[in-house]
């Protein structure tokens, strides 16, 4: 057998990656109706998920928190033929109830709910955890980033039939200390734990609840975390796959979890992180 030329390996890899970007999975989400929260711009993880769902045949409703965000979200949502684009600040019960009522005007059921929301006051995301984690920062981070999953799940449950699913986005800072991630790590731990409790509870109604633990990505939310830029370049060297992930990786994972491919998967935290979470000490040198 002739030895493999490294150049051929590179060419094959490049071709596979190009195919991957164009890949379609034959209408995995055909007929499904998905509510997408958390699009802020075209770098948002939720936007990559929305595009993938749309490409696979889903109908979409988008939510945004407040007028300032609407200007960013509306053009993106309209480009995918959104059935509705709704104001919903998840820190407000009235907003959540109104969003459900508005969804009822266009659909009689919801098959997928994407929770892609995270927020903590900026001052809490830089510096020593004990010093910067005020009662108010804790309350806001927990409310917006973790409780909102429970609040949205409860509100949308009456519209969800057996086979429906909910997915949210977490990060490794829920499991291990990531400096400066601080109270967001605590909130993500609550989000992941809530995923398990909701999965058990809503499993009785045939509704699945899962979470994607994504590797670091340059998005608006991430820009609020001190040292993010350095962390991204260091991370790319340390993951088993020696690279960072992309928003589209989360989108493909969401397709798996929210389509019938994942029909017996629930309460799971799926790491989409180029293997980052399995690494302990990177180098003994």
Catalytic residues: 171, 181
Q: Find the residue with minimal CB distance to ligand NAD.
A: 118
Q: Which ranges of the chain would DSSP assign to H, the alpha helix?
A: 6-22, 45-55, 67-79, 93-106, 129-132, 135-142, 148-156, 183-203, 220-223, 228-238, 247-258
Residue 185 forms beta bridges with which residues? none
Spatial distance between the Cα atoms of 39 and 77, rounded to a whole number of angstroms: 9
Closest CA to 150 of 96, 98, 106, 186: 96
Q: Which is nearer to ligand NAD, 161 or 229 (CB)?
A: 229
- Asked if residues 93 and 100 have their Cβ atoms less than 8 Å apart, the reply is no
Give the nearer residue to ligand NAD in terms of CB position, either 160 or 228: 228
**Per the structure block, which two tokens stand in for 166?**
């909910």
CB nearer ligand NAD, residue 221 or residue 257:
221
Residue placing its CB nearer to ligand NAD in the complex, 125 or 164: 125
Q: How far is the CB of 125 from ligand NAD (least distance, A)?
A: 11
Query: Which tokens in the block code for residue 6?
Result: 């490294």
DSSP state of 42: T
Q: For every residue of 2-17, which 3-state class applies, written as one string?
A: CCCCHHHHHHHHHHHH
- Cβ closest to ligand NAD, residue 221 vs residue 251: 221
SS3 content of the chain, % helix, strand, coil (to 5): 50, 10, 35
Radius of gyration of the chain (CA): 19
């Amino acid at each position: 057998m002739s030895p493999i030329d490294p150049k051929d390996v590179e060419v094959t890899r490049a071709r596979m990656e190009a195919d991957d970007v164009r890949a379609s999975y034959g209408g995995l989400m055909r007929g499904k109706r998905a509510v997408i929260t958390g699009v802020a711009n075209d770098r948002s993880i939720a936007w990559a998920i929305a595009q993938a769902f749309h490409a696979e045949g889903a109908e979409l409703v988008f939510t945004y928190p407040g007028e300032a965000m609407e200007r960013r979200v509306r053009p993106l949502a309209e480009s995918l033929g959104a059935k509705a684009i709704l104001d919903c600040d998840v820190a407000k019960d009235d907003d959540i109830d109104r969003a459900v009522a508005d969804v009822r005007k266009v659909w009689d059921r919801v098959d997928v709910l994407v929770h892609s929301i995270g927020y903590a006051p900026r001052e809490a995301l830089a510096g020593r955890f004990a010093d910067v984690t005020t009662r108010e920062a804790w309350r806001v981070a927990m409310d917006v980033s973790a409780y909102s999953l429970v609040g949205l799940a409860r509100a949308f449950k009456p519209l969800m039939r057996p086979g429906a699913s909910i997915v949210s986005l977490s990060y490794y800072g829920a499991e291990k200390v990531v400096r400066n991630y601080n109270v967001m790590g605590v909130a993500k731990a609550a989000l992941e734990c809530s995923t398990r409790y909701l999965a058990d509870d809503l499993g009785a109604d045939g509704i699945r609840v899962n979470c994607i633990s994504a590797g670091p990505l340059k998005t608006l939310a991430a820009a609020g975390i001190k040292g993010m830029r350095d962390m991204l370049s260091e991370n790319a060297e340390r993951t088993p796959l020696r690279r960072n992930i992309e928003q589209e990786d989360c989108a493909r994972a969401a397709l798996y979890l929210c389509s019938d491919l994942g029909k017996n998967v629930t309460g799971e935290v799926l790491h989409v992180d180029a293997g980052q979470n399995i690494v302990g000490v990177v180098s003994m040198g």
